A = this chain, B = another copy of it.
Amino acid sequence: MNIENTQAQMRKGILEFCILSIIGNDEECYASEILDRMKRAKLIVVEGTLYPLLTRLKNDGYLSYQWIESKSGPPRKYYKLTGLGEKFLEELRKTWDELVRAVDLTTLKIQSTPSSKTSQIESNNE
């Protein structure tokens, strides 16, 4: 029973959404901040996942960035949402809400069934 893998699979699809949300909330932030927030929300993400994703979102026009120097280390890339990014995030919110509803539908016991159940002839093998 490897629950870890399935957990990871569930997490995968929503990373983009969460990352855009975090950037949207913070107005402007850099990768390590995002990693930190994700960890606090119990969404494990590693650098090798985040950096390519940020680059892709920037290339797709959802994010822009500027370099800002730090007092205590190398300069940081501060990302923020573009106009397109805001619209995209809005769509993702809808998608997420729909997904939660869909899962509820399949998860709930009470599910209006089609009446056409065939007569079950017990024919076992295997």
Contact = CB atoms under 8 A, between A and B. Distances in A.
Contacts of A31: none
A66 interface: yes
A3 B69 CA distance: 34
What class of interface size applies to chain A in its complex with B? 35 or more
A35 to B, nearest CB: 12
Most chain B CB within 10 A, of A101, A106, A108, is at A106
A102 B65 contact: no
B100 A100 contact: yes
In the complex, the count of this chain's copies comes to 2
B126 A25 contact: no
B12 A12 contact: yes
Contact of A120 (B60, B68, B111, B125): B68
A18 to B, nearest CB: 4
List of 5 A-B pairs having minimum Cβ-Cβ separation, nearest first: A10-B13, A41-B105, A9-B13, A18-B106, A41-B102
16 contacts: A1-B84, A3-B91, A9-B16, A11-B13, A13-B13, A18-B103, A22-B106, A25-B108, A25-B111, A36-B114, A37-B106, A40-B114, A42-B98, A42-B105, A65-B126, A75-B123
